[in-house]
Amino acid sequence: MQNIVKDFGHFRAVNDVTLKIASNEFFTLLGPSGCGKTTLLRMIAGFEMPTKGSILLDGAGIASLPPNQRPINTVFQNYALFPHMTVADNIGFGLKMLGRPKAEIEKTVADMIRLVRLDGREKNLVTQLSGGQQQRVALARALAPQPKVLLLDEPLSALDLKLRKSMQIELKRLQMETGITFVFVTHDQEEALTMSDRIAVMSEGQVRQIGSPWEIYDRPAERFVADFIGETNFLTAEVVSVSGDRARVRLASGAEIPASFPANTTPSGKVTVVVRPEHARAAPVSGASVLRGTIHDIVYLGTDTHLHVVLEDGTPFMVRQQNARSGPCGYDKGETLGIELSDDVAQILRD
Amino acid sequence: MAISPAEASEIVRKKDIRSRWLLSAPALILIAVAGVGPLLIVVVYSFLAPGNYGDVKWEFSTEAWFNVLLSRDIFDDTVTLADAHLSIFLRSIQLAIVTTVLCVVFGFPTAYFIATRPIHTRQIWLFLITIPFWTNMLIRAFAIQEVIRNEGIVNSLLMGLGLIAAPIPMMFSDFAILVGMTYVFLPLMVLPLYASIDKLDFRLIEAAYDLYASRFNVLMRVIVPLVKPGLIAGSILVFIPALSSYVIPRVLGGGKNLMIGNLIELQFGQGRNWPLGASLSVTLVIIVLFAMLYYVRNASRSGGTHG
């Protein structure tokens, strides 16, 4: 996709987006609602025409083709299954419309039903199925014509947590087995991190950062990305020196730490550094402490304990401790403690 | 006074039943007085002998029923099929079916158009659809006459444009009746269809397009099956009054193109054969009943189990 722009009246839903999605890739568009990710998806499907820009599939422009002429299928957010048809008829609909022979349709439908594990449900009306089963019918229906690209518009948002988790694994499995390119839209960062090969984080119609889940999480380039994905601590710092792809920054506490920075930028002067809560360790104040603060609050979450610390300069800072042992965490509110950082965990943001 | 739980629930149950009867009483009385009662009178009259100057003689007779389908020669008592009646029945059924089809053809796009307008303009469109109901049907029939008669709007316009040399005769024909009935009954098709299309999930149409369906297939395989309840309701609402239509064929069909309604009216008027009129009326009710049973059953079968 090149320089895609989409306007709705005076509202610019998608602003100059350029994306290259590799084949067989699980690509995720991640962003808050209203960021333009669904509009982008609808343009790939053909339901919306870009105001400007082009969409290429295997080198051929498809932006002007109607949806029924694109080898692209969609799994809709609400599934949009045909309520007057059986499971098998729903799955076979695309092939039937393509005019495939009956024997081939029957065989593919049978394969699809096995693939999504709905054996024995072929003759049921889709309205008789549970949410998770409907979800799988929607998947099978979109996969049956073997599209080049499968678009998924928040397909898991209507499912409960447990089902969502198992469907995440299922989706990843289906993508591997079919070898089809998946373009997945979600506002759920965990979903994006779990399944994707690459993620594009969007806000206000623009792509903020593209990268692997690890890059997006550990090396956020902008404040928006760092803030939207997971929890994070923002620290102000000053760049001391830059060598290669590492910089040394001086924190407000006076400690100097190494930090990474986004490619194609040269950090200097005052910068914002982010540190993920789980990359920091709370310990008694010692020479290894880079920061110092008082415990403001302790939140116990079962697997983890969150220590909300207020640093000496007043900045809030959170430390996530895994509850490796049972029992209370051993700290009290108001206690002063030092914070140690693992190597290579600080990241400088682009301004 | 002690009441056991069983007795208590029995009392509540009886009270419940009584209040239900009381609540449905107005409807039941109305149906009895305005629906079942008159129909029974018609049935009774159909088994009586005609009076000399209209009305009936109170003696049992099956002569009227005999005359619905058969006719006896005045001179030699040979019995033949009543061709005149049969052909009028057949014509009426044909005209009613064609009217229904025309109403679907014109009504579906109209209803679809309204249902896809923004919510605040929909009210205006629906309002426009109902405006013709404000005017008496007889007056509307004359208005159509004004449009299609030889010196009417259509002919003078075409002649004025030089497209035709002589007026096209349209009045007093089946064509005129169909134009009239389609115009008059169209809202009865549009409104239930609109209600159905309004409930249609337009994402299903997107899904069908996404799965390579052509526009025609989207219509036939997704939209029509899903709006079938509205289609059935609209067809019933159009077919029944079209079949028993009286004013339209009288005004636009002239004297020669009779429909059942006119035939029945004739028996109560000039014909002075009330029992025959009554038996023809009952026959009409029976035809409608069977037509509806047949239609609803077929329609719901071909559409799967939905709707």
How close is the nearest chain A Cα to the Cα of B209, in Å? 5
Residues of B in contact with A71 (CB under 8 A): none
**A116: confidence class by pLDDT, cuts 50, 70, 90:** confident
**Is B64 strand, coil or helix?**
helix
Partner B contacted by A39 (CB < 8 A): no
* B204, B212, B307: residue with CB nearest A97: B212
Residue % of chain B over a pLDDT of 70:
96
Q: What is the DSSP string of A145-186?
A: T--SEEEEESTTTTS-HHHHHHHHHHHHHHHHHH--EEEEEE
Contact A125 B305 (CB under 8 A): yes
* A47, A68, A82: residue with CB nearest B214: A68
Structural domains of chain A, ranges and CATH numbers in brackets: 2-218 (3.40.50.300), 231-348 (2.40.50.140)
How close is the nearest chain A Cα to the Cα of B226, in Å? 7
Best residue of A38, A48, A68 to probe chain B, by most B CBs closer than 10 Å: A68
Partner A contacted by B225 (CB < 8 A): yes
Distance CA A222, CA A215 (A): 12
pLDDT tens digits, one per residue of A200-239: 999 888 888 999 999 999 888 888 998 888 888 998 888 8
**B257: confidence class by pLDDT, cuts 50, 70, 90:** confident
pLDDT tens digits, one per residue of B193-241: 999 999 998 889 999 999 999 999 999 999 999 999 899 999 999 999 9
Partner B contacted by A93 (CB < 8 A): yes
Partner B contacted by A83 (CB < 8 A): yes
Is the pLDDT confidence value at B256 over 80? Answer: no
pTM above 0.80, yes or no: no
Residues of B in contact with A67 (CB under 8 A): 206, 209-210
Instruction: Between B199 and B3, name the one with better pLDDT.
Output: B199
Contacts of A140 (CB under 8 A, 6+ apart): A91, A112, A113, A115, A116, A118
Maximum mean pLDDT: which of A80-94, A170-184, A274-288, B148-162: A80-94
Partner B contacted by A279 (CB < 8 A): no
Bridge-based pairing state of the strands B48-50 and B56-60: antiparallel
| Phi, psi values for residue A116, rounded to 5° | -95, 10
> Which of A343, A78, A30 is closest to A213 using CA atoms?
A30
* A47, A68, A80: residue with CB nearest B204: A80
CB burial of A149-183 (b: ≥16 within 10 Å; e: otherwise) equals bbbbbbbbeebeeebbeebbebbbebbeeeebbbb
Residue range A139-162: average pLDDT?
87
pLDDT tens digits, one per residue of A172-209: 888 888 888 999 999 888 888 988 999 999 988 888 89
Structural domains of chain B, ranges and CATH numbers in brackets: 90-302 (1.10.3720.10)
Residue pairs between chains A and B whose CB atoms are closer than 8 Å: 69
Could you tell me if A266 and A309 are in contact, meaning their C-beta atoms sit under 8 angstroms apart? Answer: no
Residue B280 has a pLDDT of 92
User: Helix axis angle, A102-115 relative to A131-143, nearest 10°?
Assistant: 140
> In chain B, which residue's Cα lies nearest the Cα of A97?
B213
* Angle of CA points A22, A24, A27, to nearest 5°: 65
Partner A contacted by B304 (CB < 8 A): yes
Sequence-separated contacts (24+) of A5-11 with Cβ below 8 Å: A5/A50, A5/A51, A5/A52, A5/A53, A6/A36, A6/A39, A6/A40, A6/A43, A6/A48, A6/A50, A6/A51, A6/A205, A7/A51
A320 φψ region: left (φ > 0), alpha (ψ -120 to 50), beta (else) = beta
Could you tell me if B290 and B239 are in contact, meaning their C-beta atoms sit under 8 angstroms apart? Answer: no
Report residue A29 as tokens: 């568009």
User: Helix axis angle, B119-130 relative to B174-199, nearest 10°?
Assistant: 150
For residue A191, the tally of other CB atoms under 10 A from its CB is 22
> In chain A, which residue's Cα lies nearest the Cα of B300?
A84
How close is the nearest chain A Cα to the Cα of B225, in Å? 7
**Is A46 strand, coil or helix?**
coil
> In chain B, which residue's Cα lies nearest the Cα of A140?
B211
Bridge-based pairing state of the strands A304-311 and A316-322: antiparallel
Residue A2 has a pLDDT of 56
Residue A9 has a pLDDT of 54
Best residue of A41, A73, A97 to probe chain B, by most B CBs closer than 10 Å: A97
For residue A300, the tally of other CB atoms under 10 A from its CB is 11
Complex ipTM, two decimals? 0.77
Contact A45 B210 (CB under 8 A): yes
Query: Exposed, middle or buried: residue A255 (CB in 10 Å: 0-12, 13-18, 19+)?
Result: middle
Contact B210 A98 (CB under 8 A): no
How close is the nearest chain A Cα to the Cα of B217, in Å? 8
Contact A84 B303 (CB under 8 A): yes
Q: To which H or E segment does residue A271 belong?
A: strand A270-275
pLDDT tens digits, one per residue of A292-309: 888 888 888 888 888 898
Contact B211 A85 (CB under 8 A): no
**A12: confidence class by pLDDT, cuts 50, 70, 90:** low
Q: Where do runs of H (alpha helix) occur along A219-347?
A: 223-228
How close is the nearest chain B Cα to the Cα of A85, in Å? 8
Distance CA A217, CA A198 (A): 12
- Residues 144 through 203 of chain B touching chain A, CB cutoff 8 Å: 201, 203
Residue A98 has a pLDDT of 92
Is the pLDDT confidence value at B84 over 90? Answer: no
How close is the nearest chain B Cα to the Cα of A179, in Å? 19
Contact A73 B306 (CB under 8 A): no
Residues of B in contact with A47 (CB under 8 A): 206, 209-210
A158-162, B56-60, B286-290: which has the minimum mean pLDDT? A158-162
Contact A97 B210 (CB under 8 A): no
For residue A69, the one-letter residue type is Q
